[in-house]
């Protein structure tokens, strides 16, 4: 089985978010970047499937050279090789076009990625790739198993429940917990990752369809109003009469 796993390079979940240049750009200063946590589920499940069924796992990142430490980390976790499309990821449409271009002639049985990135939260790329390649997209999935060599069985979240889907290969799926327990690279993995192939390719066209004009942060709250624990019931009255949310 040949699996393509797409990973994003995103600010660590504990990062304080700031912007520079008249609020036009994200301030990377002092921010540590990690593999997008949702993508870690896709990566680990792909490696588990490879270990069970054979095959290979290729990691794909659409990004600039500063993403390479995290691409190497994905290799250390157990991916076999990696491709970096050398481009600033302008918007979801552009990123999906790069992934589709790589996948088109790659003969991948499945393309996996996280449900969304924790920075731009688009929740778009997997479905766009499915449409661009004319194959099904199953999202967001929290369980992925093979029924036989040509069919996968996924469980995906729907509002208020879940659905069980059986889909023929090839397909695109996005991952979320509890699909698996994400792995941490061990020393042997870190050593072998240094020699695994990381191919850099130039973008294959693909226009962005949107542009970020500016960023802002939510207004600061006016401060908390404390209520005495002995008089807790007053809270319900305040929520109804003052905050008007009951």
Looking only at residues 203 through 222 of this chain, which bind other proteins when binding is defined by CB under 8 A?
209-218, 221-222
Nearer to other proteins among residue 84 and residue 98 (C-beta): 98
Of the residues 86, 157, 183, 201, which one makes contact with other proteins according to CB under 8 A: 157
**Among the candidate windows 63-71, 81-89, 175-183, 185-193, which touches other proteins by CB under 8 A?**
175-183
Structure tokens at 33: 């970047």
DSSP calls for 57-118: EEEEEEE-GGGHHHHHHHHHHT-SEEEEEES----HHHHHHHHHHHHHTTT-SEEEEESS-T
Contact status: 121 vs other proteins (CB under 8 A): yes
Cβ proximity to other proteins, 187 vs 213, nearer residue: 213
Q: Which stretch binds other proteins (CB under 8 A): 60-68, 72-80, 191-199, 233-241?
A: 233-241
In sequence order, the 6+-apart residues with CB closer than 8 A to the CB of 228 are 234
- Interacting residues with other proteins between 18 and 37 (CB under 8 A): 19, 37
Closest distance to other proteins from the beta carbon of 69 (Å): 21
CA distance 133 to 97: 10
Site string for other proteins, 64-103 (x = CB under 8 A): ----------------------------xx--x-------
d(CA 99, CA 148): 26
In angstroms, the CA 189 to CA 55 distance is 18
């Amino acid at each position: 089985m040949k699996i393509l796993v797409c990973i994003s390079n995103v600010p660590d979940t504990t990062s304080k978010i700031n912007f520079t240049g008249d609020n036009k750009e994200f301030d990377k200063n002092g921010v540590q970047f990690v593999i997008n946590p949702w993508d870690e589920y896709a990566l680990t499940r792909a490696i588990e499937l490879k270990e069970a069924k054979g095959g290979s796992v290729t990691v794909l990142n659409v990004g600039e050279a500063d993403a390479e430490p995290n691409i190497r980390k994905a290799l250390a976790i157990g991916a076999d090789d990696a491709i970096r499309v050398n481009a600033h990821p302008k918007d979801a449409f552009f990123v999906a076009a790069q992934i589709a271009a790589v996948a088109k002639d790659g003969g991948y049985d499945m393309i996996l990625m996280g449900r969304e990135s924790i920075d731009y939260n688009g929740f778009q790329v997997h479905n766009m790739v499915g449409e661009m390649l004319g194959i099904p997209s199953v999202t967001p999935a929290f369980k992925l198993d093979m029924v036989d060599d040509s069919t996968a069985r996924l469980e995906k979240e729907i509002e208020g429940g879940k659905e069980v889907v059986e889909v023929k290969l090839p397909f695109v799926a996005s991952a979320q917990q509890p699909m698996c327990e994400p792995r941490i690279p061990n020393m042997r993995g870190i050593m072998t990752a240094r020699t695994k192939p990381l191919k850099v390719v130039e973008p294959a066209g693909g226009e962005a369809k949107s542009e970020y004009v500016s960023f802002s942060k939510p207004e600061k709250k006016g401060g908390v109003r404390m209520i005495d624990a002995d008089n807790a019931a007053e809270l319900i009255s305040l929520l109804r009469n003052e905050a008007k949310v009951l």
